[in-house]
Structure 1
């Protein structure tokens, strides 16, 4: 599966707290299932709940959420701006003390895998997401709260189809 590692890299690069200690970011693919059709093709879709846990987080929650939403706009855009998918992003916060929290995010993700047959050979391709052009474009983003820099990240390109 491509998306868990892509999101891990994106958040680790964007958030200074995770750059200093990437072991605070835990990623799990839970409740996985395969969706197939009853055609001759062996193409299928992974469907799973991506569970992201950030432990002992002392930064602002917005510094985690905005880069996450940016990643979703490219890699799972159907979760954004769709009331039917509103429950596709869930979170829990465990307040450890006055300085840190543990944040758990659950995100419903899918990944399409195209399987094509040529003779006795099967070739797989992980299909990219169809995404609308965003309202904003820039190769590099910085998130501020007033004059405080919360996070910064590079826009990740859509992987080739």
Structure 2
């Protein structure tokens, strides 16, 4: 369940109030499921309703939600926007809340049999490579067996 740790680390790194007080972020998995296939294949998928509880939070809720959404964009790219995230909040006083956020995530586990035993790999989608908008491009065209650089300015 590496995605839970990855999500927690992402939130702590991107929410300044929680970075200062990480004990205010509690994380749980409630009613998780494991999808597996009969036979000799031990690969499986975890379906994890992750409960994030932020206690005594005095900031704007968007400071928590936006990092979660940015994490989902990378780590759960096919998630259903209507059913992936929900929340509840309790107003403690005029300045702070207890916030409970549920994020539905999946984690794929590939298990391969090797001579040494079992090789277990948890698959986490990697962030996409970002295009450098300032990059200089050069196209090389092969014209009748001759390779010549073609400038992009022509």
Q: TM-score, normalized by length of structure 1?
A: 0.75
Question: 1:1-161 maps to which residues of 2 (within 5 A)?
Answer: 1-79=1-79, 82=80, 86-119=82-115, 121-129=117-125, 133=128
Structure 2: 5+ residue stretches without partners = 133-154
Q: 1:64 to 1:137 in 2, by over 3 A?
A: farther
Aligned-residue RMSD, C-alpha: 2.1
- Cα distance, 1:40 vs structure 2: 2.4
Q: Identify the residue that residue 158 of structure 1 maps to in structure 2.
A: none
Give the Cα separation in 2 of the matches to 1:7 and 1:71: 7
- Cα distance, 1:137 vs structure 2: 6.9
Runs of 4+ in structure 1 over 6 Å off: none
Return the index of the structure with the highest Cα Rg.
2
Q: Residue deviations 1:115-149, cap 9 Å, x none?
A: 00124611101112377x59x779xxxxxxxxxxx
Structure richer in helix, relative to its length: 1
- Cα distance, 1:14 vs structure 2: 0.8
Q: Residue deviations 1:53-101, cap 9 Å, x none?
A: 001111111111111100111111222xx4xx51221100111110001
Give the Cα separation in 1 of the matches to 2:24 and 2:131: 30
Q: TM-score, normalized by length of structure 2?
A: 0.78
What SS does structure 1 have at the residue aligned with 2:109? Answer: strand
Structure 1: 5+ residue stretches without partners = 139-161
